[in-house]
Chains A and B, each alone.
Chain A
Amino acid sequence: MKNKLKFTWDVLKLPVIAVIVGFIVGAVCILIAGSNPATAYAALFRGSLGSIPSFGETLYKVTPILLTGLSAAIGFRCGLFNIGSEGQYVMASIVTVAGAWYLQGLPSFILVPLLLMLGILSGGVWGGIAGILKANMGINEVISTIMLNWIALYLSNYLVRTVLNPSTILGDISKGHTVIVPDAARLTKFKEFIPAFGYSSAHTGILIALAAAVGMWFLLFKTTLGYEIRGVGLNPQAAEYGGINNKKNTFLAMFISGGLAGLAGSVQILGLVYMVNQSTELPGYGFTGLSVALVGLSHPLGCIPAALLFGILDNGSRQMQLSGIPKEITKIISAVILVFVAGSLLMKYVPEYFEKRKMKRSGVDGGKQASAGAGKEGI
């Protein structure tokens, strides 16, 4: 039992310390801004967890980043850096609004799942483009997905301004956003069946996100596809040797990853925003998703507490703002956590160190390979 606890600590040590460091740096920034970190953080947690409605607010903040976190996690597991979840999210959003408008005749129980599927597909296709570029041409997916992000943004802006604008469809005056998603397509809000949620906009999207997390856990660790994706991510040469089709799996991983980011967009549109706005900036959920995935150690179930943490930071920032602290503090805390995780010496060496201890304790003469320096052939 003691061994299991030690192992769990060894593995969780990194994200926990990263979070602590993030909060410390945040505290320093709060001090520079002239406020008291203690009251600031109290406001933060009160604002995000202090009551059921505020918890509900936190829940709806968690929803998109849990999904983009899952998106990043699947990518990482295949050795891919899907920085393109922003663009995939945007594409899904615009497709969802279009679908919601043009298919609004359908009954809700068909319409909503259909729209979510469309969202997954559009995100999947957008991610799949980068997947094909990487699998077949070896094009670095970091650069290609970032380019696709901006292309998606401008495409979305164009559609918002023209085809999907209330001025085009309804003959209204030109607006900076699309037509509004009709009631039939919207996700149910919690307060409709649990009055305790009061004013909060928490919606069933969180349940979809949680289901996706469980689904991804199952996919990664219980299916052949998951075995192959992980193999390609850990050692593509051995995977190829073992008959695994690297190209196919790279594409599938990007498609699934894109699909999850797309689902985030769909859920956000149908559950909360009900429209797409013109924007000069990318929404930002994708980048937060990267942090969620890393803090969650790229494990689908680990993404849940990680997303909760970032959701708390996001929601609580409003309360902090009311106390006069710039809301960017929480973005800084997020970024610092990411920086710390990036520098993790621990992430690589903890499992290895623990393995060696396990070997020694059972009297096995292992570990020689790992300790040999130049030239593994002989010491």
Chain B
Amino acid sequence: MNTAIILAVVASAIRLATPLLLAALGGVFSERSGVVNIGLEGIMIFGAFFSVWFTHITGNAWIGVVAAILFGVIAASLLAVISINLKGNQIIAGTAINLLAAALTAFLLELIWHRSGSTPICPDMLTSNPFKFLEAIPILGDLCKQFTPFVYLSFMLVFVTYYILWKTPWGLHVRAVGEHPRAADTVGIGVYKTRWTCVLISGVLAGLAGACLSVGTVGLFREGMVAGKGFIALAAMVFGKWHPVGALSGCLLFGLCSAIQIQAQSFGIDAPSEFLAMVPYLATIIVLIGVVGKAVAPKADGTPYEKD
């Protein structure tokens, strides 16, 4: 087995895992506080679109990223209002956001560029390694050559997420709210406020994930480009038992599946492309079967909180 190919696959796996990881971390925040966020997919769509749009407007991809975060937060607010304040069904709310995202972005695509399907290529992209000095390191440097700013960001966020949720007082509050919101309420912790914050954080992260897919990978927005990745991210979160490091391993696993699919030819795997395309989705189901009984969600996950 050629080292070059192995490195290519590993780098590919990490790059493909990155948007999943960002979204999965968003899922961790949201669900640890007790709100199921099925709308990650839709927020990713918003992130992917608005980052491209604003990159076109300003010529600067970082501004695009900021836009992705902004609109991710707006979309997440909608989910938060429905799920937290109106105590609506969280799964329907998330699905509604997904449909709205697809419809709204298609509409805007038509309106702004007068074409359907995809936008023109961005004047600026974030697809290259920002830390050139790392490339000098043997072996690791070759990997780093393939990394985008999002890769570094997402890895850092894994540790930040862990620290926030397990080492800070606020993190203790979040976990209490997700397990036993009434207990938290009776000691004066604001259940709604905590949940809102966590859902908004998931909006930021999923928006980033979307930007990563567009501005950080292909440099444009195409209808249907998210293709279920928001859900794969949720599966990775479940696989990771709602823990950031676990989510990381889950995302890497899925990234690896996708990478193998892309590099299949070099491995000498001669299978129809459609079957290779199925691999990540099949892998998700297999992973979910594998963690049956072992992954326990936060106790109050998915249940709206009734403040009397």
Contacts and interface: CB of A to CB of B under 8 A. Distances in A.
A and B touch in the complex (CB under 8 A): yes
Interface of A: 29, 32-33, 81, 83, 133, 137-140, 142-144, 146-151, 154-155, 157-158, 161-162, 280-281, 287, 290-291, 294, 326, 328-329, 331-332, 334-336, 338-339, 341-345, 348, 373-374
B95 A338 contact: yes
B103 A147 contact: no
A291 B98 CA distance: 12
Nearest to B78: A339
Contacts of B308: 373-374
B282 interface: yes
A323 B281 CA distance: 41
B274 A154 contact: yes
Q: Determine chain A's interface SS by DSSP, over half rule.
A: helix
Given A81-B91, A326-B111, A343-B81, A139 B228 contact: no
Contacts of A344: 86, 88
Contacts, number: 135
Contact of B92 (A155, A280, A341): A341
Interface in B22-63: 38
B104 A151 contact: no
Given A137-B289, A144-B285, A294-B92, A338 B224 contact: no
A348 B103 CA distance: 28
B172 interface: no
A139 B91 contact: no
A150 B228 contact: yes
B61 to A, nearest CB: 26
Contacts of A341: 92, 96
B92 A338 contact: yes
A33 B93 CA distance: 27
Given A150-B228, A343-B82, A345-B86, A83 B275 contact: no
Contact of B99 (A133, A140, A281, A287): A287
Interface in B93-152: 93, 95-97, 99-100, 102-104, 106-107, 110-111
A326 B112 CA distance: 11
Given A339-B96, A342-B88, A147 B282 contact: yes
Nearest to A327: B110
Contacts of B282: 147, 151
B218 interface: no
Nearest to A141: B91
Taking residues whose C-beta sits less than 8 angstroms from the other chain, chain B's interface range is: 35 or more
B103 A332 contact: yes
Contact of A143 (B97, B103, B182, B235): B235
B88 A154 contact: no
Most A CB contacts (10 A, CB to CB) among B38, B99, B110 go to B99
Contacts of B103: 328, 331-332, 334-335
Nearest to A340: B96
Contacts of B284: 143, 147
A147 B96 contact: no
Nearest to A373: B308
Contact of A154 (B89, B235, B277): B277
B234 interface: yes
B87 interface: yes
B285 A147 contact: yes
Given A139-B288, A147-B231, A158 B106 contact: no
B227 interface: yes
B278 A151 contact: yes
Given A133-B289, A139-B292, A158 B99 contact: no
A345 B107 CA distance: 29
A233 B119 CA distance: 44
Interface string B67-90: 000000000001001100011110
B105 to A, nearest CB: 9
A143 B288 contact: yes
Given A154-B275, A338-B99, A343 B289 contact: no
Contacts of A157: 274
A155 B224 CA distance: 18
B87 A339 contact: no
Given A348-B87, A373-B308, A335 B274 contact: no
Contacts of A139: 285, 288-289, 292
A329 B107 contact: yes
A271 B308 CA distance: 54
A303 B97 CA distance: 22
Given A29-B107, A154-B275, A329-B107, 9 more contacts: A81-B91, A133-B288, A142-B38, A148-B281, A149-B228, A150-B281, A326-B111, A332-B104, A339-B82
Given A81-B91, A326-B110, A341-B92, A334 B99 contact: yes
15 contacts: A29-B107, A32-B111, A138-B293, A143-B234, A143-B235, A146-B231, A148-B285, A326-B110, A329-B107, A331-B99, A334-B99, A335-B103, A338-B95, A342-B82, A343-B88
Contacts of A151: 278, 281-282
B286 to A, nearest CB: 10
B227 A150 contact: yes
Contacts of B228: 146-147, 149-150
Contacts of B281: 147-148, 150-151
A328 B99 contact: no
Contacts of B274: 154-155, 157-158, 161
Contacts of A281: 223-224
B272 interface: yes
Contacts of A146: 228, 231
A161 B228 CA distance: 23
Interface string B135-174: 0000000000000000000000000000000000000000
Nearest to A130: B285
A290 B95 CA distance: 9
Contacts of B224: 280-281
Most B CB contacts (10 A, CB to CB) among A29, A143, A158 go to A143
Interface in B280-307: 281-282, 284-285, 288-289, 292-293
